[in-house]
Amino acid sequence: MTDRSVTATHKVFPPRARANFSASYPEGPHKLEHTLGQHPLLELEALARMAEALPEHSIEYNRGDLPLGVDGKPGATGLSIGETIRNIETANSWAVLKNIEQVPAYAELLNDLLDEIEASIRQRTGKMLKRQGFIFVSSANAVTPYHFDPEHNILLQLRGTKEMTVFPAGDARFAPDEVHEAYHTGGPRELRWNEGFLSASNTFRLARGEAIFVPVMAPHFVRNLNAVSLSLSITWRSDWSFAESDARALNKLLRSMGLRPSAPRRWPAQNRAKSLAWRVLRRMPGIS
């Protein structure tokens, strides 16, 4: 296969994928097709070199043989990040390279991809904010434990096959309000796992050339299948997602005062009043 860069004349998301995205965004998890294919920036050696140059806070790598639920970060295998990626077939690890837009060539790739779907996003949640990219490199059978993310997210599968199991966003059965509130004030995003949750889940199998859209804060976990996996996550925030974050932070403050605040409402409902209140309060001394 020949290397292919994203260009103005080549659309990575075909018309059907863009139509499906437009119909489902922002609340419906769904699969998409993509044609990103082989790309020189996404070869393992290129990724290893980038990982070695990224600041420490922009890399994370852990053992691959993890349970679905973990308490905090589980730790790595003793290899460096470069060694982990170069030896991913035998490293029994998964690694994530965060904020790849720090590197100009990767920022260009990220923006080219997001530009293809920006019009549909603007129609629903307004201006696309805080564009970010993440690359996941995983050994065979590696598990990314149960957690949630604050971004609107499309994960493109580039190599291997994985399964992502997604749960309804905004449902406190799967991610308690108190956990959301703690996360938005500096806490972890990992969630407590319960096997009984599975009956309410939707599992998507992603092979090369497929992608998945995951709504903001939708709990999920990932199981890699029996080969090395490489995935690119392209993410963005919206005014809606930032307002939801602010409302969660305000709710933590209210809960600390003995109140029982209602959870933020999901799109298309808005959370502007709580968001505005938190943005005023957090400027006050002693409020964080």
Question: For residue range 130-148, what is the model confidence (pLDDT) as tens digits?
Answer: 999 999 999 999 998 999 9
- Cα 246 to Cα 256: distance, rounded to the nearest angstrom: 16
- Cα 10 to Cα 36: distance, rounded to the nearest angstrom: 9
Question: Which amino acid makes up residue 101?
Answer: E
Residues 98 and 59 sit within 8 Å (Cβ to Cβ): yes
Structure confidence at residue 172 (pLDDT): 96
How do the domains of the chain map onto residue ranges?
A: 15-237, 242-281
Residue 256 confidence (pLDDT) above 80? yes
Residues 224 and 138 sit within 8 Å (Cβ to Cβ): yes
Residue 1 confidence (pLDDT) above 90? no
Share of the chain above pLDDT 90, in %: 84
Query: Residue 72, SS3?
Result: coil
Residue 28 confidence (pLDDT) above 70? yes
Sheet order of strands, 93-98 included: 30-33, 210-214, 152-159, 229-237, 129-138, 93-98, 59-63
- Angle between helix 104-125 and 239-256 (nearest 10): 80
Report the candidate in 165, 87, 116, 146 with the shortest Cα–Cα distance to residue 15.
Answer: 116
Share of the chain above pLDDT 70, in %: 93
Give buried/exposed letters for 246-283 (b at 16+ CB in 10 A, else e): bbbbbbbbbeeeeeebebbebbeeebeebbeebeeeee
What φ, ψ does residue 260 adopt, rounded to 5°? -125, 80
**Structure confidence at residue 16 as a pLDDT band (50, 70, 90):** very high
| Tokens describing residue 189 | 């995003």
- Cα 241 to Cα 27: distance, rounded to the nearest angstrom: 12
Distances (CA, A) of 199 to 27, 124, 127, 255: 20, 30, 35, 31
Query: Residue 254, SS3?
Result: helix
Per-position DSSP letters for 208-220, written without gaps between them:
TTEEEEE-TT--E
Asked which of 5-19, 52-66, 249-263, 264-278 is least confident by mean pLDDT, the reply is: 5-19
- Cα 276 to Cα 253: distance, rounded to the nearest angstrom: 14
Superfamily of domain 15-237: Cupin (2.60.120.650)
Segment 98-117 shows an average pLDDT of 97
